[in-house]
Amino acid sequence: MLISEVWAQSAASAQSAQGIDFMAFMPFVFLIAVFYFILIRPQMKRSKEHKTMLEALQKGDEIVAAGGLVGRVTKIDENYITMQVADGVEVRVQRPSLQLVLPKGTIKGIE
């Protein structure tokens, strides 16, 4: 015949089939843990360090903006930083676009 016979399961095997098997979820838990420690946690740490750097920024600091502009901070607003990139040339950039603060004396030629 084309239809195969169906055999009923015993009560013990039916119970385990309906219960939650936690071992089946272990690979998913492992993947979530790996993503947390490899991707999420380092990104949160980097974000916290960037926020601390922006809060500690002062007038006269030498900085590098996201576009590669290098200059000295002349004015700090709530959302913008005005930086001097050459004598008599000032540029306004957004605060989050700041990449890093350089050590004092790195930039030469800007008074």
What is the pLDDT, as a whole number, of residue 77? 93
Distance CA 106, CA 62 (A): 7
Quickly count: other Cβ atoms within 10 Å of residue 18's Cβ: 7
Read off the pLDDT of residues 59-102 as tens digits, 9 standing for 90 and up: 999 999 998 999 999 999 999 999 999 999 999 999 999 999 99
- CATH fit for domain 58-111, picks 2.40.160, 2.70.98, 2.30.30, 1.10.3470: 2.30.30
| Amino acid making up residue 18 | Q
What is the pLDDT, as a whole number, of residue 110? 75
Q: Read off φ and ψ for residue 34, nearest 5 degrees.
A: -65, -45
| Residue 58 pLDDT grade (very low, low, confident, very high; cuts 50, 70, 90) | very high
Q: For residue 50, what are its two tokens? A: 């960037």
Distance CA 111, CA 107 (A): 10
* Helix residue ranges per DSSP H, the chain: 11-18, 26-35, 41-55
| Residue 24 pLDDT grade (very low, low, confident, very high; cuts 50, 70, 90) | confident
Higher per-residue pLDDT: 109 or 34: 34
pTM over 0.85: no
What is the pLDDT, as a whole number, of residue 3? 66
The mean predicted confidence, pLDDT, of the chain is: 86
What is the pLDDT, as a whole number, of residue 101? 94
